Amino acid sequence: MAASGSVLDARDQQVGTSLEIRSATDADWPAIARLDATCFGVYNAPATFQAWRTLIAADGSVLACDGGDVVGMAHYLDLRLTVPGGAVLPMAGVTIVAVAPTHRRRGLLRAMFTELHTRIERSYPVAGLTASEGGIYGRFGYGAATIEQELTVDRRTARFRDDAPDPGGVRIVAAADHRDEIEALYERWRTATPGGLQRPRPLWDELFADRDEQRRGGSAWFTLLHPGGYALYRVFGDDPMFVRVAELIPATDDAHVALCRALIGLDLVDTVRFATHPADPLPYLLTDPRAARLTHHQDDLWLRIVDIPAALEARTYAADVSTVVAVSDAFRGTGGRFALQIRDGRAQCAPTDAAAEVEIDLDVLGSLYLGSHRASAFATANRLRATTSAAVTALDAAFATEVQAALGFGF
């Protein structure tokens, strides 16, 4: 596919005449894999790279080439995202984005993103990505929409409260013998959780393949299974040992507590590191909540709302609102003024000429969308401007979610 005129304009202005923005062909993939390894510092197993490649949409690969060399790339995967209330939206999962160190800061990312988002806008109401650095993607209309946290429990001192539930029911199993149960539990969890992603078959195969290259110095998977959830973890170190829980997927509250208890019951390890989200109940189960230390807190999924009315009408809300929101999108100019009417949990959203009560940039809408961030905090930062404080309070109440958002898996 030829690059669009706007991309060529950007290229001519910013990166010189020997550069071309174009789609990838099969012959480009060895060079794509090499650039990926160079820019991220890790060689993926060829089978792993191939598994991700199968998820790239037909028009989802944009390259920047200098003569015969691939010097930049941006891709998107065809993913499915759960939004508050349980609706599932097609999401363009932007990934494998990199520019060669020889060609940085000459406008290649912007040129590739312009072409990639022209394609994404044809079929996706939202686009998402996970960011290597926090300062890059706001300018492209992406806002941090979920938060990842790591809680590190010193299990030699952690004690469960006397009144903490003790549901039991956890079994030690081999993951490969329980694929169907594990996949079904993940499916229950992701359809109930904003930010949940449908996990495509090639990624399940990769997870269960448990390749050496994915272990980063840790053991093979250990698997704990409960009728309402599962945990996959690896053991690191020798003396002392610590555990890193890669997935704790609780479809029920009992499973969550029972799996935490089983992991903290591993007598011979010093610490257990849980990859989780800000609403994890684990500290509340302990006599000293500080025994679960917050050792990592960072943005996870970033969202760009591509079709504002479609996305806002897809989710449910916790309170009524009647307002007009002006959204600015400096990257693609897809914003405008929208009348937003929320009644009984459902929204109607349509372009309007009425005066705006609330003004935001598109990245802020992405951050509000899954309920992880509050309108009032953005108002304090002057990134949400409203004519009345009541409008901000109403948005806080409406966008709040019952279930804490969490990203299904990294991509």
Ligand X SMILES: CC(C)(COP(=O)(O)OP(=O)(O)OC[C@H]1O[C@@H](n2cnc3c(N)ncnc32)[C@H](O)[C@@H]1OP(=O)(O)O)[C@@H](O)C(=O)NCCC(=O)NCCS
109 labelled as ligand-binding?
A: yes
376 labelled as ligand-binding?
A: no
99 labelled as ligand-binding?
A: yes
Name the residue type at position 9. Answer: D
68 labelled as ligand-binding?
A: no
The answer to whether residues 308 and 125 touch, using CB atoms and an 8 Å cutoff, is: no
Q: Cα separation of 74 and 64, whole Å?
A: 9
Half-sphere exposure of 335 (CA within 13 A, CB side): 22
Minimum distance, C-beta of residue 136 to ligand X, in the bound complex (Å): 5
Which x/- pattern, by CB under 6 A, does the window 221-260 give for ligand X?
----------------------------------------
Q: Which of 53, 110, 188, 332 binds ligand X (CB under 6 A)?
A: 110
Q: Which of 11, 75, 106, 226 binds ligand X (CB under 6 A)?
A: 106
97 labelled as ligand-binding?
A: yes
Residue 286 per-residue DSSP state: B
- Per-position b or e across 350-371, b if 16+ CB within 10 A of its CB: eeeeeebbbbbbbbbbbbbbbb
Please enumerate in sequence order all residues whose Cβ is within 8 A of that of 328, keeping only pairs 6 or more positions apart, or say none: 335, 359, 360, 361, 362
Q: Cα separation of 274 and 280, whole Å?
A: 10
Q: CA angle 8-328-339, nearest 5°? A: 130
Is 142 catalytic? The answer is: no
Is 284 catalytic? The answer is: no
Of residues 33-72, those binding ligand X (CB under 6 A): 39
Name the active-site residue from 137, 142, 230, 331: 137
**CB nearer ligand X, residue 72 or residue 229:** 72
Q: Which of 65, 79, 109, 370 binds ligand X (CB under 6 A)?
A: 109
Query: Across the strands, what pairs with 69?
Result: 66
403 labelled as ligand-binding?
A: no
Examine residue 24 and tell whether it contacts ligand X (CB under 6 A).
no
- Main-chain dihedrals φ then ψ at residue 279, nearest 5 degrees: -100, 20
- The total of other beta-carbon atoms located within 10 Å of residue 319's CB is 14
Binding-site size, ligand X (CB under 6 A): 17
Minimum distance, C-beta of residue 115 to ligand X, in the bound complex (Å): 12
**CB nearer ligand X, residue 136 or residue 173:** 136
Minimum distance, C-beta of residue 39 to ligand X, in the bound complex (Å): 4
CA-based nearest residue to 194, from 408, 405, 410 = 405
**DSSP SS3 for 324:** strand
**CB nearer ligand X, residue 83 or residue 98:** 98
Of residues 117-136, those binding ligand X (CB under 6 A): 131-133, 135-136
- The total of other beta-carbon atoms located within 10 Å of residue 157's CB is 11
Minimum distance, C-beta of residue 129 to ligand X, in the bound complex (Å): 6
What does the block give as tokens for 196?
């949940």
79 labelled as ligand-binding?
A: no
Q: Which of 34, 139, 161, 215 binds ligand X (CB under 6 A)?
A: 139
**CB nearer ligand X, residue 280 or residue 300:** 300
Query: Across the strands, what pairs with 12?
Result: none
Of residues 65-104, those binding ligand X (CB under 6 A): 97-99, 104
Which helix (H) or strand (E) segment is 150 a member of? strand 147-154
What does the block give as tokens for 187?
């499916």
272 labelled as ligand-binding?
A: no
Which helix (H) or strand (E) segment is 216 a member of? none
* Catalytic annotation, residues: 137, 411
Annotated binding residues, as ranges? Answer: 97-99, 105-110, 132-133
Which spans of this chain sit near ligand X (rule: CB under 6 A)?
39, 97-99, 104-110, 131-133, 135-136, 139
Annotated binding site for acetyl-CoA: 97-99, 105-110, 132-133
